Chains A and B, each alone.
Chain A
């Protein structure tokens, strides 16, 4: 009846996961109880859960990412503290638990921290920057988000029910095969990633379509803001790369569930093929995360330097070169696995070449700041911090791209330091820069700058200390994924990295305090005009938060930096654009399809993990019925009357006119 699921699955004999799980469950139940008792449920259902508005979906993606980043960070704290205790001792985490922690840390940070954050920012900003009303497929967008949330839920469920994979964040066979991993850990991994992977693939399709087919009148490709270009490149990579991951994990599932031999190393299976296919997805994945991050930095640096992006076209070219080259370097993840010198040589050269367009970008950002009036806001600080630390990560990357060096350094803490150096400084810093930059657009008030800067300084200091120590530990010969160690030389550096994580905890605390303080001070921090940073692209041309239809009339674009041109003209003539002719606007109706689909997907995933076949079948039928009901719907859109559009737009015009008159008075005085 319940397959493999018994009471044994709940880790009653392991105090740490049990207590952690109990606390999380208590918090989640408490939040749900509060929502229901305070009567917020109808609002939440109507305005958020069933919303197909790209802005709402984007905010939910970022919220999911923030929560999961904290979850992944708590794994990091466990690992650092384990190492602090585990010198010539066993530490406080048993090996089988420690293995689950480093696996969960990687999976959560990549799939449920970094990915949702970048996709959330894309969801929020891209349609606004393109000057359109929504993405190409709004309901599909909501389905994508809820499937990602479903994957995150499964990973977290493994904390309380059963166990997580002990294989590392890529489940390398034959270790991940049934012979060596008979538990449910790898199955949790497989189903969580497969379900959220479907969501990611649909996001990729959605954004390629949106960017190629839905732009404001006059917005040609070479007039798109840089973030849209990077979102396009990342979406193309998602469409090309995620099917490889899905197929590879499906083959591993067939091995585990039906006794196939794709990767078993026996009966003709070949585990090397798993590595090859996994990294054929895995390296493009790095750029799926990094490219939107570069886009965020481009927007932030240009805005806060008060200058157009330097050499915009070279930046476009660099972005698209990276998009192509990212598919030619995957072998550098397994130089030491046995390919010959010729294969290693070719992939070493492509790996070094891909650093060139990235270098071009760094120079473009530097020259964007050169001669500009740089405002050191916290979003700008994150960008500057990125440029300084990322260059180091890039340099160690080029070093690791040299096969002889890689033979010495592979699987060492040096490697761990390298990929954290690039992923944290590019993706995480971009996430916080983008969060600070677009927060006022999303909620109508800015984040508190003082706490934002404190978060930056603690964050970057802790980050440099932790991973600086890791580089050194790698050179001292420490390998990754050790549960305990007895080398005296490593001891001081491990304590240094433990100190670094304490500094990072302070940074995380500042980020949380920043949010609380900002919400309490929201009236002081209010953004009345919709253009708090003196922005240059179209998202700043509408109110903060934008109305559901984004723009009362689609803006006409006559060049790069569409909004800057509009604003400059308004400032010269001291009057706003002509008021548009208001027409009724049709917007897509809310839909519970995404939430219900994800509910059934979670059932399918959970049932497959625990071999509860009837539940999996029921989930499949439910998901299909949801699709059928959606496909047969009669009304798709609702109409917002012209008078309502006019009312919303005039309110924003009034505050903008006041700001403009303020400029006029200052100029006269």
Chain B
């Protein structure tokens, strides 16, 4: 059997042991599974409470609160992925990790790109609103033109 053949056979094995998100190994002991969910629940609740706490107390410097909430939100996603969706770095999870990375990449591209494009266009194209505080804006007061594009 050549090297390439072995690689092919290995590839096949990997596929047969591939797990979908949420799929459990059949033989896993139930107590361990429940413990995992309970740890996840505790962490998720803790993160939620922290988010509420920093808004209602003065532990965090006020302008930094949105950043802190963002960080808690990202940590929350991590907890969900690890404890509830069982995304791991194991070989049986390559497809799931790839799918997650793919999804995150495209969401970042589309959402980030849209925010950037729209803020840029609003600055260039929007007629100055009565309430808009743009003291140094050179935007002329012109009616919005009908866009032309391909």
Is B102 touching A236 in the complex (CB atoms < 8 A)? yes
Is A558 touching B148 in the complex (CB atoms < 8 A)? no
A612 vs chain B, min Cβ distance (A)? 33
For B106-150 the 0/1 string (1 means CB < 8 A from A) is 100110011011101111110000000000000000001011111
B137 vs chain A, min Cβ distance (A)? 13
Decide yes or no whether B35 CB sits under 8 A from chain A: no
13 residue pairs from A and B, CB less than 8 Å apart: A217-B8, A220-B7, A220-B11, A244-B110, A272-B121, A273-B114, A279-B149, A333-B149, A337-B149, A339-B117, A339-B124, A410-B149, A411-B149
Residue among B5, B116, B147 making CB contact with A218, cutoff 8 Å: B5
Decide yes or no whether B88 CB sits under 8 A from chain A: no
If A217-B12, A277-B114 touch, whether A338 touches B5 (CB-CB below 8 Å) is no
Q: Name A's B-contacting residues (CB within 8 A).
A: 172, 175, 212-213, 215, 217-221, 223, 236, 240, 244, 265, 270-273, 275-277, 279-280, 324, 327-328, 330-340, 342-343, 400, 410-411, 415, 419, 557-559
B interface SS class:
helix
Is A276 touching B150 in the complex (CB atoms < 8 A)? no
Complex-state Cα separation, A183 to B63, whole angstroms: 50
- When C-beta atoms are compared, the residue in chain A nearest to B14 turns out to be A220
- When C-beta atoms are compared, the residue in chain A nearest to B98 turns out to be A212
Is B106 touching A213 in the complex (CB atoms < 8 A)? no
A569 vs chain B, min Cβ distance (A)? 15
Residue among A265, A275, A324 making CB contact with B149, cutoff 8 Å: A275
If A212-B95, A331-B117 touch, whether A338 touches B8 (CB-CB below 8 Å) is no
Q: Which residues of B contact A273 (CB under 8 A)?
A: 114, 118
Is B118 touching A270 in the complex (CB atoms < 8 A)? yes
A235 vs chain B, min Cβ distance (A)? 12
Complex-state Cα separation, A632 to B40, whole angstroms: 34
Complex-state Cα separation, A406 to B148, whole angstroms: 11
A interface SS class:
helix
Complex-state Cα separation, A523 to B35, whole angstroms: 69
A278 vs chain B, min Cβ distance (A)? 10
- When C-beta atoms are compared, the residue in chain A nearest to B114 turns out to be A276
A314 vs chain B, min Cβ distance (A)? 19
Complex-state Cα separation, A333 to B148, whole angstroms: 9
Complex-state Cα separation, A331 to B18, whole angstroms: 38
A272-B121, A276-B114 given; name 8 further pairs at CB < 8 Å: A218-B8, A220-B7, A272-B147, A334-B149, A336-B148, A338-B121, A338-B124, A339-B124
A560 vs chain B, min Cβ distance (A)? 9
Complex-state Cα separation, A410 to B149, whole angstroms: 6
B119 vs chain A, min Cβ distance (A)? 10
Complex-state Cα separation, A554 to B144, whole angstroms: 62
Q: Which residues of A contact B11 (CB under 8 A)?
A: 220-221
For B1-44 the 0/1 string (1 means CB < 8 A from A) is 00011011101100100100000000000000000000000000
B146 vs chain A, min Cβ distance (A)? 8
Q: How large is the interface on B (under 10, 10 to 19, 20 to 34, 35 or more residues)?
A: 20 to 34
Q: Across chains A and B, which 5 residue pairs bring their CB atoms closest together, nearest first?
A: A334-B149, A338-B125, A337-B147, A218-B8, A220-B11
Complex-state Cα separation, A618 to B113, whole angstroms: 41
Is B121 touching A339 in the complex (CB atoms < 8 A)? yes
Q: Which residues of A contact B102 (CB under 8 A)?
A: 236, 240
Complex-state Cα separation, A70 to B70, whole angstroms: 53
- When C-beta atoms are compared, the residue in chain A nearest to B15 turns out to be A213
Residue among A223, A280, A336 making CB contact with B110, cutoff 8 Å: A280
Q: Which residues of A contact B117 (CB under 8 A)?
A: 276, 331, 339, 343
Is A336 touching B149 in the complex (CB atoms < 8 A)? yes
Q: Which residues of A contact B8 (CB under 8 A)?
A: 217-220, 223, 557-558
Complex-state Cα separation, A340 to B138, whole angstroms: 14
Is B114 touching A275 in the complex (CB atoms < 8 A)? no
Complex-state Cα separation, A331 to B117, whole angstroms: 8
Q: Which residues of A contact B105 (CB under 8 A)?
A: 324
Q: Which residues of B contact A339 (CB under 8 A)?
A: 117, 120-121, 124
Complex-state Cα separation, A172 to B146, whole angstroms: 10
Residue among A219, A337, A411 making CB contact with B121, cutoff 8 Å: A337
Residue among B9, B95, B149, B150 making CB contact with A419, cutoff 8 Å: B150
- When C-beta atoms are compared, the residue in chain B nearest to A479 turns out to be B148
Q: Which residues of A contact B122 (CB under 8 A)?
A: 270, 272
Complex-state Cα separation, A327 to B102, whole angstroms: 12
Complex-state Cα separation, A220 to B14, whole angstroms: 11
Q: Which residues of A contact B4 (CB under 8 A)?
A: 558-559
Residue among A272, A327, A332, A343 making CB contact with B125, cutoff 8 Å: A272
A542 vs chain B, min Cβ distance (A)? 21
Which of B44-60 touch A at CB < 8 Å? none
- When C-beta atoms are compared, the residue in chain B nearest to A327 turns out to be B109
Complex-state Cα separation, A223 to B5, whole angstroms: 11
Is B9 touching A327 in the complex (CB atoms < 8 A)? no
Among B12, B18, B117, B148, the most chain A Cβ lie within 10 Å of the Cβ of: B117
Is B144 touching A280 in the complex (CB atoms < 8 A)? no
If A265-B144, A340-B123 touch, whether A327 touches B106 (CB-CB below 8 Å) is yes
Complex-state Cα separation, A271 to B149, whole angstroms: 13
- When C-beta atoms are compared, the residue in chain A nearest to B123 turns out to be A340
Q: Which residues of A contact B146 (CB under 8 A)?
A: 175
Q: Which residues of B contact A338 (CB under 8 A)?
A: 120-121, 124-125, 147
Complex-state Cα separation, A667 to B109, whole angstroms: 60
Q: Which residues of A contact B113 (CB under 8 A)?
A: 280, 328, 330-331
Complex-state Cα separation, A244 to B114, whole angstroms: 12
Among A332, A338, A411, the most chain B Cβ lie within 10 Å of the Cβ of: A338
Is B118 touching A335 in the complex (CB atoms < 8 A)? no
- When C-beta atoms are compared, the residue in chain A nearest to B16 turns out to be A213
- When C-beta atoms are compared, the residue in chain A nearest to B95 turns out to be A212
For B74-118 the 0/1 string (1 means CB < 8 A from A) is 000000000000000000000100000011011001100110111
Q: Which residues of B contact A327 (CB under 8 A)?
A: 106, 109-110
Q: Which residues of A contact B12 (CB under 8 A)?
A: 217-218
Is B120 touching A334 in the complex (CB atoms < 8 A)? no
